[in-house]
Amino acid sequence: MEPAAVNKMWKGLLAEYLGMRFVETGPDRVVAELEIRDHLRTIRGTVHGGTLMALADAVGGTAALINLPEGAATATIESKTNFFAAGKGGTLRAEATPLHKGRSTSVWQTRVTDESGKLLSLTIQTQAVLQK
SS (H, E, C) 79-132: EEEEECCCCCCCEEEEEEEEEEECCCEEEEEEEEECCCCCEEEEEEEEEEEECC
Residue 87's pLDDT is 93
Range of the domain at 87: 3-130
Report the CATH number that the domain containing residue 115 is assigned in CATH.
Answer: 3.10.129.10
φ and ψ of 39, to 5 deg: -75, -5
Sort 66 into a burial class: Cβ within 10 Å, 0-12 / 13-18 / 19+: middle
Task: Please give the full DSSP string across 9-78, using - where no structure is assigned.
Answer: HTTTSHHHHHT-EEEEEETTEEEEEEE--GGGB-TTSSBPHHHHHHHHHHHHHHHHHHTPPTT-EEEEEE
Mean pLDDT of the chain: 97
**Residue 130 to residue 1: CA distance in whole angstroms:** 20
Confidence band, pLDDT 50/70/90 cuts, at residue 81? very high
Stretch 29-40: mean pLDDT: 97
Residue 40's pLDDT is 96
Does residue 132 surpass a pLDDT of 90?
no
Question: pLDDT by residue (tens digit) across 98-124?
Answer: 999 999 999 999 999 999 999 999 999
How many structural domains compose the chain?
1
